[in-house]
């Protein structure tokens, strides 16, 4: 089939959307090759004749299993309903959805507005029965793949638990011992780490600090110069009060308001 039949001029007049997604923040930081390949679809869209190409990458680090909100996918669906999109480009079906509800809803909208779905294998028109069948199988395989991966991870965790080698996150103050036991952190090492912060806070919030601060303020003199013959207005007094009393507020000390005349 010719490219003009798959992508008619009415479709090329609209914009193409490249949907970029990775399932977890760890994949965003480590799996850089997958991200690079997804962003390269912009050049693929331009080679196919689209002049306007938009990238939706709001869902980086979000799962497509249906248990997490995806603002990028919602924006894609809204643009499809408005008839602004001519084609949706993705690396594979799993990037768009990992559950049948979102996948078939997207295909239904693409068929209504005559938008195309493009991946690495080809161009699909959801309005045609054969293409719709093939896209439906790809979505089912993507959903099934997610279930297989989840089952493998749970089986591996249960196997490690039966051997006593499963390690989970422990509260602050506890660590895993090399023998497989969970024990408290040595008290002296913990005190050395937090002792400095406690001493700094105690010295900062003590009454001696307050007295030293008050003495330094009194030696510097009032905020308004003595040679000024004009009396400060009530508004100016409030402004100077805010400027002079900020250390008291940061120390959370309740006192009488300072009067600046």
Answer left, alpha or beta for residue 89, where phi above 0 means left and psi between -120 and 50 means alpha.
beta
Residue 37 · residue 19 · CB < 8 Å = no
DSSP string, 210-227: HHHHHHHHHHH--SS-TT
Of the residues 23, 94, 142, 237, which is catalytic? 23
- Residue with the two structure tokens 């991870």: 153
C-alpha to C-alpha distance for 28 and 93, rounded to whole angstroms? 19
Record the tokens describing residue 94, joined without a space: 């799993």
Q: Could you give phi then psi for residue 88, rounded to 5 degrees?
A: -115, 120
Residue 111 · residue 126 · CB < 8 Å = yes
C-alpha to C-alpha distance for 27 and 107, rounded to whole angstroms? 27
DSSP 8-state symbol, 222: -
DSSP 8-state symbol, 172: T
To the query of whether residue 34 is one of the catalytic residues in this protein, the response is no
CB-based burial, 163-184: b 16+ in 10 Å, e otherwise: eeeeeeeeeeeeeeeeeeeeee
Residue 25 · residue 61 · CB < 8 Å = yes
Q: Which residues are catalytic?
A: 23
């Amino acid at each position: 089939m010719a490219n003009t039949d798959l992508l008619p001029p009415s479709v090329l007049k609209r914009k193409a959307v490249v949907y970029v997604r990775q399932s977890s923040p760890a994949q965003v930081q480590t799996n850089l090759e997958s991200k690079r390949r997804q962003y390269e679809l912009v050049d693929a869209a331009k080679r196919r004749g689209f002049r306007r190409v938009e990238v939706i990458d709001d869902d980086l680090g979000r799962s497509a299993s249906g248990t997490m909100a995806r603002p990028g996918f919602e924006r894609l669906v809204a643009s499809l309903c408005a008839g602004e999109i001519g084609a949706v480009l993705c690396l594979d079906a799993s990037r768009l959805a990992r559950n049948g509800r979102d996948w078939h809803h997207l295909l239904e909208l693409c068929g209504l507005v005559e938008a195309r779905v493009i991946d690495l294998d080809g161009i699909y028109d959801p309005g045609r029965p054969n293409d719709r069948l093939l896209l439906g199988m790809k979505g089912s395989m993507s959903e099934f793949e997610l279930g297989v991966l989840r089952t493998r991870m749970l089986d591996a965790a249960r196997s490690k638990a039966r051997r006593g080698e499963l390690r989970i996150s422990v509260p602050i103050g506890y660590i895993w011992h090399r023998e497989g036991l969970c024990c408290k952190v040595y008290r002296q090492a913990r005190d050395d780490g937090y002792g400095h912060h406690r001493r700094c806070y105690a010295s900062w919030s003590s009454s001696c600090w307050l007295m030293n601060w008050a003495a330094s303020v009194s030696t510097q003199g009032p905020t308004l110069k003595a040679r000024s013959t004009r009396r400060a207005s009530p508004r100016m007094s409030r402004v100077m009060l805010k400027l002079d009393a900020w250390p008291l507020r940061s120390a959370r000390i309740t006192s009488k308001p300072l009067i600046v005349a």
